[in-house]
Amino acid sequence: MRPMDLVGVGVGPANLSLAALAEPLPELRTRFLDAKPGFQWHPGFMLPGAELQVSFLKDLVTLVDPTSRYSFLNFLAAHKRIYRFLVASRSGCSRQEYEQYCRWVSESLTSVSWNSAVEEVDLANDRTFTVRCADGRRLRARALVLGSGRTPVMPECAERLRGPSVLHNAELAFVDPEFAGRDVVVVGGGQSGAETVQHLLSAEAGLPRSITWLSSRLGFPPMDDSPFTNDWFTPAYVEYFRQLPSDRRRRLLAQQRMASDGVSASLLQAIYRRLYELDVQRPGRLRHRLLDQRRLVDLAKDGNRLSATIHDTGLDAIECVPADVVICCTGYRPEFPEYLGPLRSWLPRTAEGFEVQDDYSLAWDGPEGLRIFVQNAAEHTHGIADPNLSLVPWRSARILNSVLGYERYPTSQYAATVEWEGPGAHAGAHAPDFRLEEVGKV
Ligand SMILES: Cc1cc2nc3c(=O)[nH]c(=O)nc-3n(C[C@H](O)[C@H](O)[C@H](O)COP(=O)(O)OP(=O)(O)OC[C@H]3O[C@@H](n4cnc5c(N)ncnc54)[C@H](O)[C@@H]3O)c2cc1C
């Protein structure tokens, strides 16, 4: 069995982008494995009406190869809807249509295998990786790209009661709890929390009796989607961020949170308006409480019901709220994949996660010549854009270039508008020379 040059584990948007960019390269033998029966994008939380939070130009390929046949625009053209899309969507795109697009790409790629859950990766005697799937199939590879995504996180007190009435938003469509006439607590004031609340409010006949929505922050703040902030989602920013000391990176990430964790302003507006209309037109139909600076700190069974203990962090006070259903919209985090267990001792890690190098390969104490790359597990080293779709093709191109050993796709020397730290520290193409000279004189 001749080893593959590269095996990808998981086929979400990240590794699908890599597969699409690798497809025109006959010199590279690749295989991409996913546990699911076909492409699905966060299927437990694919709510009707949810919008993609980035431009459709940030698709799987366009920003590194606008000529690729796997672009979103080509998908629209192939389906004869490019004109209607422009009229219907202006600059936006629904999450459902983005999923259709990804499925279309995945169906054109012969390198993708579905129903292929990876159970274990180990070393073979002749110094290649052996990838073992749940059905017993084995593949050998010289490079691995981990694209198996992040894990939903719930507060410990809710995790203990996880089931039909206590769930993470990632499993909303699978658990499908009854909401009509019931008391629902939504934990989390970010985009997932807002989409969950909007989903509850949109059920005309099946409205809950009450919705209690908790935000740990001050208010229910919008995502910062302004132009200079969006420069943090560019290759130039990754290159700047990457060379900072780790404590500086940690502080920056904390300061930048609202560029990724806030709610899109249009969704906040829609929720506010719907609550207003319900209050004005159907008073008493839905009780709603929006509680900011509040955290869920305990959850207990109370007969057939639940009792949620909530900490008001502003007043340092405790309140108990009865509920039938609690939905935790409390985010996702990268975890050490179980299938990598046999390689654990060769992979040095810090408190924040893997030690990830410039080219997204992991620091590796194992045999030479083998490499493991990561998708969506390098926020602590490569910056706030890492879990986002914005740099998916660029990151894939970086990984491909590194596996190939030459620059097949251009990935450096992009300009930025902001000079992030100190004159000349980041000299983008727009940095005028005179500024450097002026500062030099002082
Ligand atoms: C609901 C939701 C909406 C989002 N919307 C946006 C957005 O609008 N804009 C944006 O920029 N970002 C968005 N994000 C953030 C991010 O872009 C997505 O999470 C994106 O899906 C990450 O892609 P991925 O390929 O890394 O992982 P995933 O999409 O999570 O894919 C991982 C894949 O790995 C497979 N897998 C896992 N374990 C194994 C295994 N052992 N063997 C084989 N296969 C395995 C899974 O089946 C899955 O298909 C969103 C995130 C969520 C949760």
pLDDT digits (tens, 9 = 90+) for 90-127: 768 999 999 999 999 999 999 999 999 999 999 987 68
Domain boundaries, the chain: 6-150+334-404, 152-223+262-328
Which token pair is 98? 């983005």
Which token pair is 133? 């799937």
Sign of CA dihedral 125, 126, 129, 132: negative
Mutate to test the pocket of ligand 1, among 42, 191, 195, 382 (most ligand atoms within 8 A of CB): 42
Q: What percent of the chain has pLDDT above 90?
A: 90
Query: 442 pLDDT band (50/70/90 cuts)?
Result: very low
Asked if 20 and 109 touch (Cβ cutoff 8 Å), the reply is yes
Position 389, amino acid: L
Going by their DSSP bridges, the two strands 349-350 and 353-354 should be labelled as antiparallel
Which token pair is 171? 């499993």
Q: What is the pLDDT of residue 423?
A: 53
Residue 312, classed as helix, strand or coil, is: strand
Mean pLDDT for 220-246 is: 95
For residue 306, what are the β-bridge partners? 301, 323
Taking CB atoms and a 6 Å cutoff, what residues make up the pocket around ligand 1?
9-15, 33-36, 42, 45, 52-54, 117-118, 147-149, 339, 375-376, 387-390
Query: 425 pLDDT band (50/70/90 cuts)?
Result: low
Q: What is the pLDDT of residue 360?
A: 98
Task: State the distance from the centre of ligand 1 to the C-alpha of 11, rounded, in angstroms.
Answer: 8
Superfamily of 152-223+262-328 according to CATH? FAD/NAD(P)-binding domain (3.50.50.60)
Q: What is the pLDDT of residue 247?
A: 95
Q: What is the pLDDT of residue 437?
A: 41
Task: State the distance from the centre of ligand 1 to the C-alpha of 175, rounded, in angstroms.
Answer: 19
Same fold, 6-150+334-404 and 152-223+262-328: yes
Task: State the distance from the centre of ligand 1 to the C-alpha of 208, rounded, in angstroms.
Answer: 30
Asked if 65 and 394 touch (Cβ cutoff 8 Å), the reply is no
pTM above 0.85, yes or no: yes
Mean pLDDT for 143-170 is: 98
DSSP 85-110: HHHHHTT--BHHHHHHHHHHHHHH-T
Query: 203 pLDDT band (50/70/90 cuts)?
Result: confident
Average pLDDT, rounded, for the chain = 93
Rounded to 10 degrees, the C-alpha dihedral 172/175/179/185 comes to: -60
Q: What is the layout of strands, in order, in the sheet containing 371-374? A: 112-113, 30-33, 6-9, 143-146, 371-374
Give the burial class of 364: count Cβ atoms within 10 A of its Cβ; 0-12 exposed, 13-18 middle, 19 or more buried: middle
Q: Which fold has domain 6-150+334-404?
A: FAD/NAD(P)-binding domain (3.50.50)
Q: Whose CA is nearest to atom 27 of ligand 1?
A: 149
